[in-house]
Amino acid sequence: MREAVVRCLAALLVAALVAGRVATHRLAAQSPAQGIRHVVARYYTAMSRFDLKLLATTVDPTNRGLERLQRQEAFDWFEEFSGSRVRSRVERIGRMPHGFYRATVHVSVVLHNGDFGEELQSMLFRRVHGEWKLSEPSPGDLGPLRSRAGRGVTLEYYEWDSRQAGRVLKIAERSYARVTRLTGVRLRKNVRVRLLPAYAVSPGHVEDGSVGYYLSRMPNTVFVRSPGSLGFGGYDPSISPYDELGQSITHELTHLVSDRKVGIEGLPDWMTEGFAEWVAGSERPYEVRQALEQHRFLDVRLLDQFSGGASELDLDYGGSYELVDYVIHLKGTGGYWTLLRDYKRTHDLDSALRRSLGMGMYEFQERWQRWLRAKYRLPDTSGYLAPPVPSEQAAA
Ligand SMILES: [Zn+2]
């Protein structure tokens, strides 16, 4: 029922756009709430139809970086949600400094296989030449970079984020305490957590849409996108965005600590990402269970480098979490560090597994799958999942 209404509304908006000048003037006379609702509807219509021309009409044309990013977002969206039914609804609109408005948008997607997902997404808008556009504050709008020291961490934030700085600092302190407790690593100097309220002030990882990152070239700082910014991305409507922020900070601090302890360059993705997810407590039981039920073989070697495809990433992270969970279940965190160090020395996973866990690659794969199926209370299908060990094959 509601879907039909959205479709009609979208069609009307497209018609209004082709009508040209008159329609544009009518739009300009709208209230902020009306104007923003229209842009949001057009934006998600453009995304779900992969209509880059329509998408371009929704984005601030003076912000080239944001335009590029939205085109990239459309490609990711197409890969993940092509053929899905998408609904968007503006839940709240609030006034921000420098003529910006922030909208909280509820987005729900029904995939063609019947899977359903929903999220909340913050988006900023401002009037450009009389029309409402998706935009972001410029470095000038954000104000100076400030810092506030806490226990183990120092928060760096722009004036723009000053209202949420106290709350974020507390979250960062809790994340730091969790990381030191679970990794056993303690740092002498405070680490820096920098909040990024706009892509324009992000020193790295702009194109891939990541919600946080760590750069080896800035080894004392982790970067996370501000709650309420576009880059923060969609979050689960049933929990607070600040809970997700805490998980992101914990994840990135784990990378920082791991880099300090063993050096993460050259490690397989599952070792670094899986460990960061494990420390953050970010399991993905839904994706992992689905893969196990479909008898998809979670292969250690395939998790060496994540596929990069948006639709596979959840399983890449989820599978890596389970791998790390298994290693730590066997040998504890100390054993995990030993495995990483061993691997760093030889870059040979089979021999590193033999030395630190006492079993080679195939045995490890088979035991891990069996353990995982038991953990998820699924019937044991051992012997089916892992290829035979070469020596056994020769004997048979
Ligand atoms: Zn990571």
Spacing, Cα 73 to ligand 1 middle (Å): 20
- Rg (C-alpha) for the chain, rounded Å, is 24
Spacing, Cα 68 to ligand 1 middle (Å): 23
Are the C-beta atoms of residues 186 and 216 closer than 8 Å to each other?
no
Spacing, Cα 372 to ligand 1 middle (Å): 23
Spacing, Cα 317 to ligand 1 middle (Å): 9
Spacing, Cα 189 to ligand 1 middle (Å): 22
Architecture of domain 138-257: Orthogonal Bundle (1.10)
pLDDT at 2: 24
Spacing, Cα 255 to ligand 1 middle (Å): 7
Between 348 and 395, where is the model more confident?
348
The pLDDT confidence band at residue 274, using thresholds 50, 70 and 90, is: very high
Strand partners, 127: 132
Are the C-beta atoms of residues 248 and 211 closer than 8 Å to each other?
yes
Spacing, Cα 359 to ligand 1 middle (Å): 27
Average pLDDT over residues 293-304: 82
Spacing, Cα 1 to ligand 1 middle (Å): 41
Distance CA 122, CA 233 (A): 7
Spacing, Cα 304 to ligand 1 middle (Å): 14
pLDDT at 205: 74
Per-position b or e across 22-43, b if 16+ CB within 10 A of its CB: eeeeebeeeebeebbbbbbbbb
Spacing, Cα 266 to ligand 1 middle (Å): 14
Q: Which of 129-133, 319-323, 326-330, 379-383 has the lowest mean pLDDT?
A: 379-383
pLDDT at 163: 97
What is the pTM (predicted TM-score) of this model? 0.86
Spacing, Cα 250 to ligand 1 middle (Å): 10
Spacing, Cα 286 to ligand 1 middle (Å): 20
pLDDT at 311: 66
Spacing, Cα 85 to ligand 1 middle (Å): 30
pLDDT at 116: 87
Spacing, Cα 51 to ligand 1 middle (Å): 31
* Strand 153-158 to 191-196 pairing: parallel
pLDDT at 257: 97
Query: Looking at the predicted structure, is the pLDDT value of residue 185 above 60?
Result: yes
Q: Which of 72-86, 117-131, 300-314, 325-339 has the lowest mean pLDDT?
A: 300-314
Spacing, Cα 380 to ligand 1 middle (Å): 31
Spacing, Cα 176 to ligand 1 middle (Å): 16
Spacing, Cα 124 to ligand 1 middle (Å): 26
Spacing, Cα 228 to ligand 1 middle (Å): 21
Spacing, Cα 256 to ligand 1 middle (Å): 10
Average pLDDT over residues 250-258: 97
The pLDDT confidence band at residue 207, using thresholds 50, 70 and 90, is: low
Condensed to tens digits (0 to 9), the pLDDT of residues 24-61 reads 444 445 799 999 999 999 999 999 999 999 999 999 99
Are the C-beta atoms of residues 13 and 2 closer than 8 Å to each other?
no
The pLDDT confidence band at residue 300, using thresholds 50, 70 and 90, is: confident
pLDDT at 83: 85
Query: Looking at the predicted structure, is the pLDDT value of residue 297 above 60?
Result: yes
Between 296 and 396, where is the model more confident?
296
Per-position b or e across 157-170, b if 16+ CB within 10 A of its CB: bbebbeebbeebbe
pLDDT at 306: 83
Spacing, Cα 267 to ligand 1 middle (Å): 12
pLDDT at 168: 98
369-374, long-range: CB < 8 A, 24+ apart: 369/297, 369/298, 371/326, 371/329, 372/288, 372/292, 372/298, 372/322, 372/326, 373/292
Spacing, Cα 251 to ligand 1 middle (Å): 6
Spacing, Cα 277 to ligand 1 middle (Å): 8
Condensed to tens digits (0 to 9), the pLDDT of residues 105-163 reads 999 999 888 888 899 999 999 999 999 999 999 999 999 999 999 999 999 999 999 99
pLDDT at 308: 67
Architecture of domain 2-135: Roll (3.10)
The pLDDT confidence band at residue 80, using thresholds 50, 70 and 90, is: confident
The pLDDT confidence band at residue 395, using thresholds 50, 70 and 90, is: very low
The pLDDT confidence band at residue 9, using thresholds 50, 70 and 90, is: very low
Query: Looking at the predicted structure, is the pLDDT value of residue 332 above 70?
Result: yes
Q: What amino acid occupies position 310?
A: A
Q: Hey, how many other C-beta atoms are within 10 angstroms of the C-beta on 280?
A: 22
Query: Looking at the predicted structure, is the pLDDT value of residue 388 above 90?
Result: no
Spacing, Cα 214 to ligand 1 middle (Å): 8
The pLDDT confidence band at residue 18, using thresholds 50, 70 and 90, is: very low
Query: Looking at the predicted structure, is the pLDDT value of residue 19 above 80?
Result: no
Distance CA 46, CA 10 (A): 9
The pLDDT confidence band at residue 310, using thresholds 50, 70 and 90, is: low
Distance CA 74, CA 78 (A): 6
Q: Which of 25-29, 61-65, 74-78 has the lowest mean pLDDT?
A: 25-29
Spacing, Cα 327 to ligand 1 middle (Å): 19
Spacing, Cα 253 to ligand 1 middle (Å): 9
Query: Looking at the predicted structure, is the pLDDT value of residue 10 above 60?
Result: no
Spacing, Cα 274 to ligand 1 middle (Å): 8
Break the chain into its structural domains and give their ranges: 2-135, 138-257, 262-396
Spacing, Cα 90 to ligand 1 middle (Å): 31
Spacing, Cα 169 to ligand 1 middle (Å): 21
